[in-house]
């Protein structure tokens, strides 16, 4: 069994990578990172460092052109500010729409890209780190259980039943993910989640708030904040 893992350098996908290496062995794991034209390159550096740490093959794909029409606040060409607030507070003001850091259909595009690469690289499974906190309130609708199932079905059919998608954390919280990652001794010190590309995490954006809390709930301090 060979696995393609979508990695972004954050804690969810890095835990996913650690889990796949434990389950299938590093020689059967391929990590794939995607550039979507984000404001900084820290995530991509982190995903390279993490792939090197695990000794797995690392594929890098640039899909930035597809997002050049979007004004999502994470993108390099966007002059929108990245919100410094919790997702719950941001959602209270979006009237049911996704948050401003939602990259349009990102996971749909990433999974389709991964499916194509998985077939070419003889991988049977695509792993990715979608989890329930990001799907909550439809902040990121392309992280939900229903979306994952629909994409998984489509990819299974479209690949001639050779590739399936697994999102092992789809019903987990970030706290659960960190708990499993601590057991797996995931190198969280190499990861990066903050939407701002500064030297230290900003501690104010939605993903920083969630990440810090996930470590705290496990009685730990995020190694990036030590
Ligand atoms: Zn941040």
**Given this model, what pLDDT does residue 24 score?**
97
Taking residues 83-101, report their average pLDDT. Answer: 79
- How many whole angstroms from 198 Cα to the centroid of ligand 1? 9
Per-residue pLDDT at 162 exceeds 90? yes
- How many whole angstroms from 178 Cα to the centroid of ligand 1? 18
Q: What is the pLDDT of residues 66-80, one digit of tens each?
A: 988 987 877 888 878
- How many whole angstroms from 208 Cα to the centroid of ligand 1? 4
- How many whole angstroms from 204 Cα to the centroid of ligand 1? 5
Per-residue pLDDT at 211 exceeds 70? yes
Integer Cα distance of 195 and 101 in angstroms: 9
Residues near 215 by Cβ (< 8 Å), separated by ≥ 6?
178, 221, 222
Residues near 45 by Cβ (< 8 Å), separated by ≥ 6?
9, 192
- How many whole angstroms from 84 Cα to the centroid of ligand 1? 8
- How many whole angstroms from 223 Cα to the centroid of ligand 1? 15
CATH architecture of the domain formed by 3-225: 3-Layer(aba) Sandwich (3.40)
Mean predicted lDDT score pLDDT of the chain: 91
Taking residues 10-34, report their average pLDDT. Answer: 97
- How many whole angstroms from 73 Cα to the centroid of ligand 1? 13
**Given this model, what pLDDT does residue 135 score?**
67
Q: 142-174 burial string, b = 16+ CB within 10 Å, else e?
A: bbbeebbeebbeebeeebeeebebbbbbbebbb
**Given this model, what pLDDT does residue 137 score?**
66
Integer Cα distance of 32 and 47 in angstroms: 9
Q: What is the pLDDT of residues 134-145, one digit of tens each?
A: 767 677 888 888
Where helices occur in 25-105 by DSSP H, the ranges are: 42-54, 87-91
Per-residue pLDDT at 131 exceeds 90? no
Per-residue pLDDT at 130 exceeds 90? no
Taking residues 173-193, report their average pLDDT. Answer: 97
Per-residue pLDDT at 99 exceeds 70? yes
Taking residues 36-45, report their average pLDDT. Answer: 84
**Given this model, what pLDDT does residue 154 score?**
97
- How many whole angstroms from 162 Cα to the centroid of ligand 1? 38
Per-residue pLDDT at 113 exceeds 80? yes
Residues near 146 by Cβ (< 8 Å), separated by ≥ 6?
none
- How many whole angstroms from 50 Cα to the centroid of ligand 1? 20
- How many whole angstroms from 82 Cα to the centroid of ligand 1? 9
- How many whole angstroms from 155 Cα to the centroid of ligand 1? 33
- How many whole angstroms from 148 Cα to the centroid of ligand 1? 26
Q: What is the DSSP string of 198-209?
A: SSS--S-SHHHH
- How many whole angstroms from 203 Cα to the centroid of ligand 1? 5
- How many whole angstroms from 115 Cα to the centroid of ligand 1? 30
Among 28-42, 56-70, 88-102, 177-191, top mean pLDDT goes to: 177-191
Q: What is the pLDDT of residues 184-207, one digit of tens each?
A: 999 999 999 998 888 899 999 888
The residue ranges of every structural domain in the chain are 3-225
**Given this model, what pLDDT does residue 5 score?**
98
């Amino acid at each position: 069994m060979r696995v393609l893992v979508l990695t972004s350098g954050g804690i969810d996908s890095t835990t996913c990578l650690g889990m796949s290496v434990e389950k299938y062995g590093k020689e059967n794991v391929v990590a794939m990172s995607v550039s979507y034209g984000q404001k900084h390159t820290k995530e991509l550096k982190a995903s390279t460092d993490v792939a090197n740490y695990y000794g797995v093959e690392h594929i890098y794909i640039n899909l930035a052109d597809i997002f050049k029409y979007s004004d999502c606040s994470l993108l390099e060409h966007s002059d929108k500010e990245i919100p410094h607030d919790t997702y719950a507070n941001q959602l209270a003001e979006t009237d049911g729409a996704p948050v401003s850091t939602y990259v349009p259909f990102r996971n749909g595009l990433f999974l389709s890209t991964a499916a194509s690469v998985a077939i070419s690289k003889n991988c049977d499974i695509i792993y990715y780190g979608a989890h329930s906190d990001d799907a909550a309130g439809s902040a990121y609708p392309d992280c939900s259980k229903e979306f994952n199932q629909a994409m998984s079905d489509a990819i299974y059919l479209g690949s001639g039943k050779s590739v399936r998608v697994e999102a092992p954390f789809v019903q987990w919280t970030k706290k659960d993910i960190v708990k499993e990652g601590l057991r797996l001794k995931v190198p969280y010190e190499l990861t990066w989640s903050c939407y701002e590309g500064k030297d230290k995490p900003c501690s104010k954006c939605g993903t920083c708030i969630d990440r810090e809390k996930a470590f705290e709930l496990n009685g730990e301090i995020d190694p990036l904040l030590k």
